[in-house]
């Protein structure tokens, strides 16, 4: 392999998404000589915002929400206060009827009809009694939801949407995922919310407001990049193709860009490259059981189709969830309802998410076929007229969601345990740790890694970094 040049950096960070850039920001503010290497043409990873002929959209709308006040303060500071508070308004479209999301019991009962409502409540009460007498283990999403909400509620509200998102039956999806996502919500709480004004107000503020940068979620990473570039360096369009290690230490990374192959050595390394990919980059290779564990962990992929419309606005919703099997996509959002600056005046756009596996019929369909199908479906659902569409964009996003199949934990542990041996490498982020992290969690993981590195390099404390709360 012909290496064009070799350089040394204090800290080399692999991947320029929220986790890598947060780590880079903290370390460069502490005076460290930081290099961030990003494969794509721009930073942001899954939390980037695309600009297309005056329209802006995230890869599926990204709300920013955190219980970590210090992290929120850091984001506000990085955005120089440029942050909107958006009222969340979401619906689930089931059999042509809109239901509130998060599920409001009053709304659900009034739309489901008396017979289904009675069955739903009876099933819930039955589960509450049954769990005191039977101790069947909870392994999957299906077990967890049925135990907490009853079979009918699972069938009506959870089954189809979850299977659409994950592409596997609900009894194959690990309970750990659902417990993390729906924790704290019980039908009892929701029922109290439906009948008590105070409780409903409390639930609303918990679930129904979020923060959003006016130019899209990508503004956070774009600004982090600008900060790092003041003292360090963020290189884009550059892929990490190899990681050299010896005696439980990372020595250097090999990277490739249009200029050729380069080698960067460093004291410390932080990686947000997907866990399943990084094992393949190691030189020498890890043991076969680690390679096998990585080969059997899967991600769910995503195709995003955006249609630009010659119309002021289509909906007043932030998100619409579509569980119905006969609609090929799972979620729609209208960026203008998040920030007026996402679309040119007098126009709007709808962003549609197709959950899929790379290589399947959706992933391999042509852009034209996907655009035509999207317009046809949106028209059939009553949202748009075909002649209002004057432009569109199709994006394929690999490794959008770590797929938590029931046996994923042992495989994830096998890989993470192996990486523990490296004294100068931190794994961070959603793909990098194979965790269901949102942007705030990904940033927290990068900051925690930066803290560890800062301690090892004995760097001064310059910025106050947010403590981890989750």
Ligand X SMILES: Cc1cc2nc3c(=O)[nH]c(=O)nc-3n(C[C@H](O)[C@H](O)[C@H](O)COP(=O)(O)OP(=O)(O)OC[C@H]3O[C@@H](n4cnc5c(N)ncnc54)[C@H](O)[C@@H]3O)c2cc1C
Residues near ligand X (CB under 6 A): 14-20, 37-40, 45-47, 59-60, 62-64, 239-240, 272-273, 302, 353, 400, 429-432, 437-440, 442
Kindly tell me which of 147 and 441 has the beta carbon lying closer to ligand X.
441
Minimum separation from the CB atom of position 346 to ligand X (A): 27
Give yes or no for a contact between 212 and 65, defined as CB atoms under 8 angstroms apart.
no
**In angstroms, what is the C-alpha Rg of the chain?**
23
Minimum separation from the CB atom of position 470 to ligand X (A): 12
Residue 115 has which token pair? Answer: 């017979």
* Strands laid side by side in the 97-101 sheet: 97-101, 90-94, 319-321, 331-333, 348-356, 298-309, 389-403
| CA separation for the pair 88, 208 (Å, rounded) | 5
| CA separation for the pair 71, 91 (Å, rounded) | 29
Residue 409 has which token pair? Answer: 């934990």
Minimum separation from the CB atom of position 434 to ligand X (A): 10
Minimum separation from the CB atom of position 306 to ligand X (A): 13
Kindly tell me which of 140 and 272 has the beta carbon lying closer to ligand X.
272
Kindly tell me which of 59 and 74 has the beta carbon lying closer to ligand X.
59
Residue 135 has which token pair? Answer: 């101790």
55-58/319-321 β-pairing? unpaired
| CA separation for the pair 142, 133 (Å, rounded) | 19
Minimum separation from the CB atom of position 383 to ligand X (A): 20
Kindly tell me which of 419 and 437 has the beta carbon lying closer to ligand X.
437
* Residue at token pair 């959706």: 362
Kindly tell me which of 232 and 431 has the beta carbon lying closer to ligand X.
431
Nearest Cα neighbor of 101 from 315, 314, 327, 321 is: 321
Kindly tell me which of 153 and 303 has the beta carbon lying closer to ligand X.
303
Minimum separation from the CB atom of position 166 to ligand X (A): 13
| CA separation for the pair 91, 99 (Å, rounded) | 5
Kindly tell me which of 64 and 404 has the beta carbon lying closer to ligand X.
64
Minimum separation from the CB atom of position 115 to ligand X (A): 36
Minimum separation from the CB atom of position 445 to ligand X (A): 7
Nearest Cα neighbor of 19 from 470, 427, 409 is: 427
Kindly tell me which of 63 and 192 has the beta carbon lying closer to ligand X.
63
- Concatenated DSSP letters of 380-439: HTTS--GGGEEEEEEEEEEEEEEE-BTTHHHHHHHHHHHHTT-TTEEE-SHHHHT----H
């Amino acid at each position: 392999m012909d290496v064009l040049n070799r350089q040394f950096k204090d800290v080399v960070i692999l991947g320029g998404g929220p986790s890598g850039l947060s780590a880079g920001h903290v370390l460069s503010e502490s005076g460290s000589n930081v290099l961030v290497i990003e494969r794509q043409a721009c930073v942001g990873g899954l939390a980037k915002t695309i600009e297309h002929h005056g329209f802006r959209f995230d890869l599926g709308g990204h709300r920013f929400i955190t219980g970590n006040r210090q992290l929120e303060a850091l984001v506000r500071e990085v955005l120089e206060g440029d942050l909107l508070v958006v009222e969340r308004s979401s619906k689930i479209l089931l059999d042509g009827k809109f239901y509130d999301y998060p599920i409001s019991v009053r709304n659900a009962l009034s739309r489901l009809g008396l017979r289904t409502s009675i069955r739903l409540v009876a099933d819930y009460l039955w589960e509450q009694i049954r769990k005191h007498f039977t101790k069947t283990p909870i392994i999957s999403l299906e077990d967890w939801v049925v135990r907490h909400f009853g079979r009918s509620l699972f069938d009506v509200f959870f089954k189809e949407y979850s299977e659409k998102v994950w592409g596997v039956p609900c009894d194959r999806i690990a309970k750990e995922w659902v417990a993390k996502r729906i924790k704290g919500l019980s039908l009892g709480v929701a029922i109290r919310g439906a009948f008590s004004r105070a409780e409903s107000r409390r639930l609303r503020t918990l679930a129904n407001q979020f923060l959003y940068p006016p130019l899209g979620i990508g503004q956070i990473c774009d600004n982090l990049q600008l900060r790092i570039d003041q003292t360090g360096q963020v290189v884009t369009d550059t892929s990490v193709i190899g990681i050299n290690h010896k005696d439980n230490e990372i020595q250097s990374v090999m990277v490739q860009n249009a200029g050729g192959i380069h080698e960067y050595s460093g004291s410390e390394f932080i990686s947000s490259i997907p866990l399943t990919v990084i094992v393949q980059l190691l030189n020498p290779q890890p043991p076969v059981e680690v390679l096998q564990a990585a080969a059997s962990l899967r991600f769910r992929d995503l195709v995003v189709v955006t249609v630009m419309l010659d119309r002021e606005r289509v909906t007043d919703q932030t998100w619409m969830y579509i569980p119905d099997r006969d609609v090929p996509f799972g979620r729609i959002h209208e960026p203008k309802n998040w920030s007026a600056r996402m679309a040119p005046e007098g126009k709007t756009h709808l962003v549609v998410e197709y959950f899929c596996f790379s290589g399947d019929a959706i992933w391999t369909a042509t852009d034209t076929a996907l655009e035509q199908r999207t317009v046809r479906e949106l028209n059939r659902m009553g949202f748009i007229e075909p002649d209002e569409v004057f432009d569109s964009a199709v994006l394929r996003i690999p490794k959008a969601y770590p797929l938590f199949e029931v046996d994923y934990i042992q495989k994830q542990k096998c890989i993470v345990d192996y990486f523990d041996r490296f004294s100068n490498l931190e794994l961070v982020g959603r793909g990098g740790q194979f965790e269901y992290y949102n942007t705030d969690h990904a940033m927290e993981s990068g900051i925690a890694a930066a803290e560890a590195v800062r301690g090892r390099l004995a760097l001064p404390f310059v910025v106050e970094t947010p403590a981890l709360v989750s």
